[in-house]
Amino acid sequence: MASCGQSLGLPLELNPDLDPLHDRGFSPSKLKGINSGFEIYSESAKNVVETQPQLAKIIGTRDWCISFRWGGDLSECACVLAASAGLVKLCDAARTIPTTTSRMTSTASSKK
């Protein structure tokens, strides 16, 4: 996961110990060398579809959902966008961006 930003040529440095399927809560990162970060949570895609059936088509056959959350800091938002875009590129993930909260969900397959 640490290579997400670099795979897209973005100036994002994720926590090198980040484990997106097991870590919960704040994860430090750097954007253009400046300290930032975001919250990360994961759960099985099955659980997400049960509580949010409108996401079933987007999730498809992927088996994990990783949610990123940020506060009012736009550098945190940029970190989330870069990390999520990296997952899309590296893991065949799909991304949803709700319009009412500062939370983004990426669904990824652990089969890849």
- pLDDT tens, residue by residue, 46-105: 998 998 898 888 888 888 888 888 887 889 988 888 888 888 887 778 877 766 555 655
pLDDT band at 109 (very low <50, low <70, confident <90, very high): very low
pLDDT at 112: 41
Burial of 20 per CB tally in 10 Å (0-12, 13-18, 19+): buried
pTM more than 0.95: no
pLDDT at 81: 85
> What is the number of domains present in the chain?
1
pLDDT at 30: 92
Domain with 89, as residue range(s), is 4-108
Q: Are 13 and 5 in contact (CB under 8 A)?
A: yes
Q: What is the DSSP string of 43-106?
A: EEHHHHHHH-GGGHHHHTT--EEEEEE--S-HHHHHHHHHHHHHHHHHH--EEE--SSSSEEEE
